[in-house]
Amino acid sequence: MDALKSRTRLTSRLLSAFIAFTFSFTSVLPPAYAQSIGALNLPAPGTMVSVTPGFTPIHISGITINPDNPLQFDFIITSLILGTLTSKAKN
Splitting the chain (91 residues) into consecutive groups of 10 residues, what average pLDDT does each group show? 73 92 80 64 85 81 90 83 50 46
The domain in which residue 81 lies consists of 57-91
Give domain status of residue 49, yes or no.
Answer: no
The total number of structural domains in the chain stands at 1
Give domain status of residue 24, yes or no.
Answer: no
Give domain status of residue 81, yes or no.
Answer: yes
- pLDDT (0 to 100) of residue 15: 94
3-class secondary structure for the chain?
CHHHHHHHHHHHHHHHHHHHHHHHHHHHCCCCCCCCHHHHCCCCCCCCCCCCCCCCCEEEEEEEECCCCCCCEEEEEEECCCCCEEEEEEC
Q: Note if the pTM is more than 0.85.
A: no
Give domain status of residue 63, yes or no.
Answer: yes
- pLDDT (0 to 100) of residue 73: 86
Give domain status of residue 62, yes or no.
Answer: yes
